[in-house]
Amino acid sequence: MKLGIVGAGSWATALAHILSKNFQSVILWARDKDVAENINQNHKNDKYLPDILLNSNISATIDLEEIFRQDIIIIAIPMQHIRETISNIKLKEEKMIISASKGIEIGSLKLPSDVIKESLDIPEENIFALSGPSFAKEVAKELPTALTLAGKDIQKAEKLQQLLNTKTFRIYISEDIKGVEIGGAVKNVIAIACGASDGLKLGNNARASLITRGLYEMTKFVPIFNANPQTIYGLSGLGDLVLTATGDLSRNRRFGLLIGEGYSVEEAIKKINQTIEGIETVKAIKQLSEKYNLELPISEMVYKVIYEKLNIKKAVDLLMNRELKKEFL
């Protein structure tokens, strides 16, 4: 079996490296010719995943159509670029497509699997989402990692589970693709808030509360996407949220940290210098919250801090001094 991956960022490269153990070959699609050449000539991706010597059956291309000629395809590019990137692809035979992208499309308010379905014009049963607490660097170093693979067709998901699972890359399966995608999207926004809290030196108690109340915000999206609430409490929801909110390898968390330390939004974006999904996702969340009248106090504050110049300390005060109430309404 041959694997094609759309993307050559850190997550795409880590997936290539760990999955190259299970596939005959893995080929990455890079937008940037230098990245592709670096991979092909040196078995390295110095820009996105330095220090990892990639397995020899991994190569890269800038020809997107070549990726879609492989047996299984993983999509691992920033959420807002999925539609423009893959819309011109015409699949000649049925393929299983796995989304490893996280976010909500601004404007359409759609999750990655729906954007992929529309862009490639394929049946829902052939689309899967792979998500869970997985810093790319740790996956590439073969540290133990557990993820959820979700798809409507559970028999196909079981086949993929066998195909993707390695000794250090443990795959659980689920039928709730939308629930898995909600977690991957919302966690980045909450991680920004947790980073800001740590940047302000508010302590571990405050951060743990933000994670807890943030998970509660995540559950508000469940009825909108007709998902299963239990999924939110699994690896792709809670697990990924905990990882992103507490681990300094997360760009979203680091962006929040910088804001909390007093950097402006523009300075923080410049310092990170890679896609920070939460900054885009929070726009889509704002649109969803207005459309469906959702109460999302943490996301609301993150939005206001990024797009309405609300002072971060003022945002924390507003959060801490809300009316006293029951924990769950």
Containing 230, the helix (H) or strand (E) segment is helix 229-232
Q: Interacting stretch for a second copy, rule CB under 8 A, among 19-27, 53-61, 108-116, 157-165?
A: 157-165
| Residues 211-250 as x/- pattern, contact with a second copy by CB under 8 A | xxx-xx-------------xx-xxx--xxx-xx--xx-x-
The verdict on 189 binding a second copy (CB under 8 A) reads no
- Which of 62, 91, 206, 265 binds a second copy (CB under 8 A)? It is 206
- Which of 90, 92, 309, 326 binds a second copy (CB under 8 A)? It is 326
What are the residues whose beta carbons fall under 8 Å from the beta carbon of 172, sequence distance 6 or more?
A: 146, 147, 148, 149, 161, 234, 235
Please choose, from the candidates 265, 143, 247, the residue with its C-alpha nearest in 3D space to the C-alpha of residue 191.
Answer: 247
Angstrom distance (rounded) from CA 247 to CA 23 = 30
Nearer to a second copy by Cβ, of 77 and 180: the residue is 180
Nearer to a second copy by Cβ, of 121 and 317: the residue is 317
Give me the residues paired with residue 170 across strands: 146
Q: What are phi and psi of 161, to 5 degrees?
A: -55, -50
What are the residues whose beta carbons fall under 8 Å from the beta carbon of 92, sequence distance 6 or more?
A: none
Residues making up the binding site for sn-glycerol 3-phosphate: 102, 132, 134, 187, 240, 250-252
Find the shortest distance in angstroms from Cβ 82 to a second copy: 24
Angstrom distance (rounded) from CA 266 to CA 276 = 12
Find the shortest distance in angstroms from Cβ 142 to a second copy: 10
| Angle subtended at Cα 118 by Cα 116 and Cα 119, rounded to the nearest 5 degrees | 65
Angstrom distance (rounded) from CA 269 to CA 247 = 18
Find the shortest distance in angstroms from Cβ 154 to a second copy: 8
The single residue of 110, 178, 187, 304 carrying the catalytic annotation is: 187
- Which of 42, 87, 204, 264 binds a second copy (CB under 8 A)? It is 204
Nearer to a second copy by Cβ, of 115 and 315: the residue is 315
Q: Which of residues 107-146 bind a second copy (CB under 8 A)?
A: 132-135, 138-139, 141, 143-146
The verdict on 45 binding a second copy (CB under 8 A) reads no
Helix (H, G, I), strand (E, B) or coil at 57: coil
Task: Label residues 256-270 b or e (16+ Cβ within 10 Å = b).
Answer: bbbbbeebeeeebbe
Find the shortest distance in angstroms from Cβ 79 to a second copy: 21
Helix (H, G, I), strand (E, B) or coil at 119: helix
Name residue, tokens 């691992």. Answer: 76
Angstrom distance (rounded) from CA 189 to CA 277 = 8
Residues making up the binding site: 10-11, 31, 48, 102, 132, 134, 136, 187, 240, 250-252, 277
Q: What are phi and psi of 30, to 5 degrees?
A: -115, 135
Find the shortest distance in angstroms from Cβ 156 to a second copy: 14
120 close to 91: Cβ distance less than 8 angstroms: yes
Nearer to a second copy by Cβ, of 187 and 304: the residue is 187
Residues making up the binding site for NAD(+): 136, 251
Containing 171, the helix (H) or strand (E) segment is strand 169-174
Say whether 2 is catalytic.
Answer: no
Size of the site for a second copy (CB under 8 A): 56
Catalytic center residues: 187
Q: Where do contacts with a second copy occur on this chain (CB under 8 A)?
A: 132-135, 138-139, 141, 143-146, 148, 161-162, 165, 167-168, 170-174, 202-209, 211-213, 215-216, 230-231, 233-235, 238-240, 242-243, 246-247, 249, 316, 320-321, 324-328
